């Protein structure tokens, strides 16, 4: 999406892709919001040029200004074309990335071995700090500094992924206000040179994982890349090379209006934190993250989009569960029937008939929502979900009828549909079920999953009991 609030930052010559032809153009930037727009101007005193005079998409555009500043724009897409008859043709491009300080001449050279990218709002999830409270006996120091080393999240033959915190040390003490600040970063170190899009795929996978853990949508802020081929140049005759970090302006800037305040979070407020993530299976998540993407989007949106109605939150969670069951457990009715037979193998014979009816009743040519919810609720007989005042065996049908009422507005179902506090409670139960399966996808063991799911539903149970007690008191 084109950022409107941008300002002219540079005028110079630009080379498109691997061609040797140069064009004049103006670069407009909004670094705070990630707006990168280049207008290439081609003089033209004759007929209007072809719309395809320049490509619609360009892998990279390299440029320089008369004063020597250099830029490289990456992943550029045409956003406008304007013909000024008898004057010039103007082709507008929006870029996803812009590297300052270097002008690449070939696409295959735009590779790096390290990226450092910040994600605001995840300090508590990282569960680490450079600032510490000193021992109680040390009365002369209020805040101490204990610099943490980068915390490794994952490592394989291709790259290492770590979590790190920068910190500031204020040197000007004669001020009324002194600010201490920490910034959380992901560090991705590749074994060989990789394009910037390669790093972003890993960073986005990790960001998505943290979003699930903390329950808020996140974004990226500052980004720096490094390559052993790009060094500082010194004129003192010292042959020692020092890698020169390159700042990257990008179109994935953090929207601070979407970030909730994470102060005073309790342990169960996070689905898991960085330290607990070590108990999971990160490679497993990488394998399924693409399949899980629409489910995660519904989960995040349904939990933290305050503009949605209660019924919309409820419907989002239903759709997420239905999609999860279809994608990860059983897509077709034949698949589901085979699964039911496998489930019954672990059950005593006297329960087979009632279990089969609970799981398959109503399936005619496809797997119904009620049956998918029944299967998820049983959790392969390894966990019992809290369903409040709803009878466990009735809950899938109640939810299915409520969904049908809100989506199709069948007035015949109105008296059977959940509303008000019952609808809110049902939403929390459904969220609890989905989080159970999310933790399974992350590879956590059963003990951790069971304890965390109980912890997260406990405040809802307590709140409901308080409300019921209050109603009983008022109606006495």
Per-residue pLDDT reduced to its tens digit, 186-241: 999 999 999 999 999 999 999 999 999 998 888 999 999 999 988 877 666 566 77
State the alpha helices, DSSP H only, in 188-281.
Answer: 196-214, 274-277
- Packing angle between helix 446-474 and helix 420-441, nearest 10 degrees? 170
Q: Given pLDDT bands bounded at 50, 70 and 90, which one contains residue 2? A: very low
Under the phi-then-psi rule, with left for phi > 0, alpha for psi from -120 to 50, and beta for the rest, what region is 307?
alpha
Quick one: which H or E segment has residue 18? none
- Beta partners for residue 91, in sequence order: 40, 81
Strand runs labelled E in 168-308: 182-194, 223-226, 246-250
- In whole angstroms, what is the distance from residue 210 CA to residue 305 CA? 17
Q: Give the model's pLDDT for residue 46.
A: 83
User: Which of 15-24, 35-44, 256-265 is least confident?
Assistant: 256-265
The pTM of this model reads 0.86
- In whole angstroms, what is the distance from residue 258 CA to residue 278 CA? 28
With a cut of 90, say whether residue 5 has pLDDT above it. Answer: no
Per-residue pLDDT reduced to its tens digit, 393-422: 999 999 999 999 998 877 777 888 899 999
Per-residue pLDDT reduced to its tens digit, 358-392: 999 989 889 999 999 999 999 999 999 999 889 99
Q: Given pLDDT bands bounded at 50, 70 and 90, which one contains residue 303? A: low
């Amino acid at each position: 999406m084109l950022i409107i609030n941008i300002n002219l930052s540079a005028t110079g010559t630009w080379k498109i892709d691997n061609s040797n032809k140069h064009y004049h153009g103006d670069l407009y930037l909004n670094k705070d919001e990630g707006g990168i727009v280049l207008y290439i101007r081609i003089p033209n005193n004759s007929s209007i040029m072809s719309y395809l005079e320049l490509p619609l998409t360009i892998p990279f555009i390299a440029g320089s200004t008369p004063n020597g500043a250099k830029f490289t724009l990456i992943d550029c897409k045409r956003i406008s074309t304007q013909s000024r008859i008898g004057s010039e043709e103007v082709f507008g491009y929006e870029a996803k990335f812009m590297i300052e300080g270097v002008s690449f001449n070939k696409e295959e050279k735009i590779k790096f071995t390290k990226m450092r990218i910040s994600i605001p709002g995840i300090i508590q999830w990282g569960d680490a700090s450079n600032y510490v409270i000193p021992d109680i006996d040390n009365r002369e120091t209020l805040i101490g500094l204990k610099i943490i080393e980068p915390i490794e999240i994952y490592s394989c033959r291709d790259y290492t992924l770590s979590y790190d915190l920068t910190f500031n040390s204020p040197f000007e003490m004669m001020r009324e206000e002194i600010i201490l600040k920490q910034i959380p970063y992901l560090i991705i170190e590749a074994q060989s040179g990789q394009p910037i899009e390669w790093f972003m795929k890993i960073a986005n996978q990790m960001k998505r994982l943290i979003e699930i853990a903390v329950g808020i949508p996140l974004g990226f802020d500052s980004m720096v890349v490094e390559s052993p081929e790009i060094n500082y140049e010194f004129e003192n005759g010292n042959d020692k090379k020092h890698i020169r970090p390159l700042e990257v302006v990008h179109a994935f800037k953090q929207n601070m209006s979407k970030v909730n305040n994470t102060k005073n979070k309790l342990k169960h407020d996070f689905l898991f934190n960085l330290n607990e993530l070590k108990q999971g299976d990160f490679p497993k998540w990488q394998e399924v993250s693409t399949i899980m993407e629409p489910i995660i989007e519904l989960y995040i949106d349904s939990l933290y989009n305050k503009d949605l109605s209660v019924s919309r939150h409820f419907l989002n969670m239903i759709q997420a569960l239905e999609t999860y069951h279809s994608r990860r457990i059983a897509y077709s009715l034949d698949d589901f029937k085979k699964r039911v037979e496998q489930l019954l193998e672990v059950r005593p014979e006297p329960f087979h008939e009632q279990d089969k009816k609970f799981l398959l009743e109503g399936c005619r040519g496809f797997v119904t929502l009620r049956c998918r919810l029944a299967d998820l609720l049983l959790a392969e007989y390894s966990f019992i979900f809290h369903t409040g005042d709803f009878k466990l065996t009735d809950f899938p049908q109640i939810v299915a009828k409520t969904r049908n009422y809100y989506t199709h507005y069948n007035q015949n179902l109105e008296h059977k549909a959940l509303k008000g506090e019952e609808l809110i409670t049902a939403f929390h139960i459904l969220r609890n079920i989905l989080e159970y399966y999310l933790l399974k996808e992350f590879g956590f063991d059963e003990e951790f999953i069971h304890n965390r799911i109980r912890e997260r539903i406990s405040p809802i149970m307590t709140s409901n009991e308080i409300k019921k007690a209050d109603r009983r008191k008022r109606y006495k």
